[in-house]
């Protein structure tokens, strides 16, 4: 099938699919007219990528996952380790964002937000407490 169809089936933009090919994540066949020709397996791979990227795995991690996926003898522990690491990173990121949220919430609440020129948010950013 052509790239447009593969794009629809995998829920990935055609541009992204070409990019994934460029960085070696898949190698679709070519039809006689030079068009890329995607097999069901290729689409499967693309969906896998779409899901894994959506779960926050980096492209390099996706590459690892794909190779683990392709390796019928891999241990599930390897995959679990990768997922656990990613989970940790995500938790870390959440904690970080929650701390940002707390600070910003405080700032927004403190700011009277009218036409007056004094603003606690800028005061804080400018280091009024230094």
Contacts with DNA, residue ranges (CB under 7 A): 2-5, 7, 13-16, 18-19, 32-36, 53, 58-60
Report the alpha-carbon distance of residue 118 to residue 110 in Å, rounded. 11
Compute the least distance from the CB of residue 70 to DNA, in Å: 19
Q: Which of 79, 5, 10 is nearest to 44 (CA)?
A: 10
Write the binding mask 31 to 60 for a copy of itself: x where contact by CB under 8 A, - elsewhere.
-------------x--xx--xx--xx----
**Residue 2 interface partner, choices DNA, a copy of itself, none, CB cut-off 5-8 Å depending on type:** DNA
Report the alpha-carbon distance of residue 16 to residue 5 in Å, rounded. 14
Give every CB contact of residue 58 below 8 A, 6+ residues apart in sequence. Answer: none
**Residue 69 interface partner, choices DNA, a copy of itself, none, CB cut-off 5-8 Å depending on type:** a copy of itself
């Amino acid at each position: 099938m052509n790239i447009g169809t593969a794009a629809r089936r995998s829920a990935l933009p055609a541009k992204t699919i070409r990019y994934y090919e460029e960085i070696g994540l898949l190698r679709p066949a070519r039809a006689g007219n030079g068009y890329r020709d995607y097999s069901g397996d290729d689409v499967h791979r693309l969906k896998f990528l779409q899901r894994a990227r959506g779960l926050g795995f980096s492209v390099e991690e996706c590459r690892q996952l794909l190779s683990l996926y392709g390796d019928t003898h891999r241990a599930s522990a390897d995959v679990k380790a990768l997922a656990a690491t990613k989970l940790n990173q995500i938790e870390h990121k959440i904690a970080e964002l929650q701390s940002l949220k707390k600070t910003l919430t405080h700032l927004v609440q403190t700011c009277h937000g009218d036409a007056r020129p004094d603003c606690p948010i800028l005061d804080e950013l400018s280091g009024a407490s230094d």
